[in-house]
Structure 1
Amino acid sequence: MRAIQATVNLAALRHNLAVVRKFSPASKVLAVVKADAYGHGLLRASPGLEDADGFGVLRLSEALALRESGYSQTLLLLEGVFAADELIAAAAHGISIVVHNEQQVQMLEQAVPQLPHPLQVFLKMNSGMNRLGFKPNLFGAVVKRLKACPAVRPDIVLMTHFATADDERGIDLPLSVFQKTTQGLPYSISLANSATILRHPAAHYDWVRPGIMLYGASPVTGVAAAHYGLQPVMQFTSEVIAVQVLQAGETLGYGARFSAETETRVAVIACGYADGYPRHAPNGTPIAINGSISQTLGRVSMDMLFADITHLPEAGVGSEVELWGGLVPVDAVAEASGTVGYELLCAVAPRVPFKVVG
């Protein structure tokens, strides 16, 4: 059996949740576990987040799985519902919904006879990202409609999402738009994603919505997760399955993308893009072998990749490999590959076996 494996560390999840509370001590925490808990496995990861005040998911099936597993916290559908039967199921199981378009408002207004219970609504404003939500000039009227709707609980939450919380542009303009539009409205507020939690304390308010930071990766390009005290939750590992010795001028792998300048010992590792490792990772992407940092060589294949072990004479067949984790931050692999840690964590393939520790 191939030795490739992804390990989910629940103790690291608990630690990262504590970091969220350290940054936002007065806020409730809605742990975002969409995309199968960012690739970690929804029901594998959720025990490490059981002390969160709520969970944010994308699909109704995810919310139902959490509810059926005994989680009584707030469960929020981050894109809301798209059909009347979903609305009824959400109401029956006490699941909260985001409302971000006119059709969803109308669905609530027309659903009263069928609903077993009214729903908690998080009403979303489009404060500049132009993805989901009501424009500020329409927002007040929608608040009034929801307040008057028997299908909606009185504890409405007002929310928005920031496009540039992670860079130098910050959130001043969209935050000002949101504050001006909602001034005087007697409702709770949820604005802060991971980057906002870490960089913009003025926008924490009543509910924060951490995502990537819970899994030990950084939402801020160029700033390591360890800088914020975060710990990696996933360790992606494999082993060396063969060793090749290249002479000067010999090439390696598809496309001959690496050419040896001197004699080079090469580890062939049981992991490829079919396992979720980025095919576009270039020569020099960090990797750890037997606990020592090295670098990848050549093009990533479907089932294999290569690393330089010239400087590691003890490394050979059976040597342990960390693709990312405690020694090699997932953000370092992502940065080398021109992407973000979010994508790599979410892309670990179903054929990779998972183990839970902690």
Structure 2
Amino acid sequence: MSRGTRAIIDLAALRFNHQKVRQLAPNSKIWSVVKANGYGHGATRIAQALAASTDGFAVATLDEACELRQAGIDKPILLLEGTASAGQTGVACEENIELVIHNPEQLQWLVEQKKPARVWLKIDTGMHRLGISVAQVAEFAKQVSNQLHLTLVGIMTHLASADEPDNPQTDEQLAQFAQAQALLPNVQHCISNSAATVSLVDTHANWIRPGIILYGASPFADKTAKQLGFKPVMSLLAPVIAVRNIDVGEKVGYGGNWTAKRPTSVATLAIGYADGYPRHAPNGTPVWLNGQQVELIGRVSMDMITVDVTDLAHVELGDEAVLWGEQVSVDTVASACNTIGYELLTRRSLRVPLQFRD
């Protein structure tokens, strides 16, 4: 049974964000990215909430794809990294999963399966993580087209620096991809991640693949999701489980890295790094409690954090704090912790239950 620590998932906000994305790219189809358990939000429920409005879903692993199929999701599903073995390839074909190919082995597995499959070629345009080179595109496309059971649906790439609008790497990557497009003008094209969906209209192409913006967090270091017009989907909540008063000079937490400079009221909250709250969150990280912003004090423990509630009129056991959500954005907390909202959302632990609201 939960200690009261929970994450509320606002499905109405999710649908709002999806509609916002549709407005940003009205001529593109949408792969809604639900990998990593829907960025920590619960992939199945997220997919069910978007099934009527999205054009398809994108995932990172075959298990993620199969989970959606088992939940009754019949929209197209794209396996972004492709399969990891011949056996996985057979399962993916049986489940009607669209497959990304980024190496010769994956193509050979598909050839040997002799099962119908829809295929995307991943082009390495300069990120050097996954993908075939532009020089390999024609040969790979020919091999796919020579197999009657395979359909070459499109080509795709990933932009390494779309979150930095002035970074010249993006133009270099787009120039590389344009060469691949010229070789295969009659297939579909997919380029845009969340950052490109928002800031690079010329990359929208036939398909876009928004991820983090669907969940109401920002892909940019200098802009919050609220500034971009998106609503937070997750609110991470934890109750107060203790309140105590300490004197000037007394220390709080492991290592005593916070020292009271005034008589201080300290509230302990039932959340820690085992729940997914970042262990490296520094003193001063904002928390929302009883209608007011308070500050984290002392090191984050496995199961608890402590906050300074001296300036609150009244705090008692059971009062609920917001670690991130509408009042304190996950982007703000991530910035304080020198990380990104993606990490905070996806690291929510299984002992923090999800509660879904429309």
TM > 0.5 between the two?
yes
Q: In 1, Cα distance between the equivalents of 2:178 and 2:14?
A: 32
Q: Secondary structure at the match of 1:182?
A: helix
Give, in angstroms, the shift of residue 291 of structure 1: 2.3
Q: Which residue of 1 aligns with 2:136?
A: 138
Give, in angstroms, the shift of residue 95 of structure 1: 1.1
**Conserved 8 A contact 2:120-2:154:** yes
Q: Which residue of 1 aligns with 2:264?
A: 264
Give, in angstroms, the shift of residue 150 of structure 1: 2.2
Q: Which residue of 1 aligns with 2:38?
A: 37
- Say whether 1:173 aligns with 2:204: no
Q: Which residue of 1 aligns with 2:351?
A: 351
1:44-97 CA distances to partner (integer Å, 9 max, x unpaired)? 222222121000112222222222322221101111112222222222221100
Q: Percent identity?
A: 42
Gaps of 5+ in 2: none
Q: Which residue of 2 aligns with 1:55?
A: 57
Q: Secondary structure at the match of 1:15?
A: helix
Matched residue type, 2:216: G
Q: Which residue of 2 aligns with 1:127?
A: 125
**Conserved 8 A contact 1:10-1:47:** no
Deviates more, 1:129-138 or 1:178-187: 178-187
| Alignment match of 1:161 (pick from 158, 161, 164) | 158
Q: In 2, Cα distance between the equivalents of 1:279 and 1:13?
A: 28
Q: Which residue of 1 aligns with 2:73?
A: 71
1:177-209 CA distances to partner (integer Å, 9 max, x unpaired)? 100232152111000000000010000000100
Give, in angstroms, the shift of residue 281 of structure 1: 0.1
**Conserved 8 A contact 2:287-2:295:** yes
Q: Which residue of 2 aligns with 1:319?
A: 319
Matched residue type, 1:135: S
Q: In 2, Cα distance between the equivalents of 1:282 and 1:351?
A: 23
| Alignment match of 2:96 (pick from 80, 94, 97) | 94
**Conserved 8 A contact 1:16-1:213:** yes
Matched residue type, 1:275: D
Q: Secondary structure at the match of 2:117?
A: coil
Give, in angstroms, the shift of residue 13 of structure 1: 0.8
Q: In 1, Cα distance between the equivalents of 2:84 and 2:262?
A: 60
Q: In 1, Cα distance between the equivalents of 2:62 and 2:303?
A: 34
Matched residue type, 1:194: S
Q: In 2, Cα distance between the equivalents of 1:209 and 1:305?
A: 36
Aligned pairs, number:
353
Which runs of structure 2 are paired with 1:145-294 in the superposition (5 Å)?
Answer: 145-154=143-152, 156-167=153-164, 168-169=166-167, 171-185=170-184, 186-294=186-294
**Conserved 8 A contact 2:144-2:150:** yes
1:138-197 CA distances to partner (integer Å, 9 max, x unpaired)? 22221221122223114x211000000001306211001100232152111000000000
Q: Which residue of 1 aligns with 2:306?
A: 306
Give, in angstroms, the shift of residue 277 of structure 1: 0.4
Q: Secondary structure at the match of 2:150?
A: coil
Give, in angstroms, the shift of residue 263 of structure 1: 1.1
Give, in angstroms, the shift of residue 354 of structure 1: 1.4
Deviates more, 1:323-332 or 1:177-186: 177-186
Gaps of 5+ in 1: none
Q: In 1, Cα distance between the equivalents of 2:65 and 2:25?
A: 25
Return the TM-score normalized by structure 1: 0.96
Q: In 2, Cα distance between the equivalents of 1:184 and 1:280?
A: 48
Q: Secondary structure at the match of 1:153?
A: strand
**Conserved 8 A contact 1:8-1:45:** no
Q: In 2, Cα distance between the equivalents of 1:340 and 1:247?
A: 35
Q: Secondary structure at the match of 1:242?
A: strand
Q: CA RMSD in A?
A: 1.3
1:265-309 CA distances to partner (integer Å, 9 max, x unpaired)? 111111111111001000010110012111111101111101111
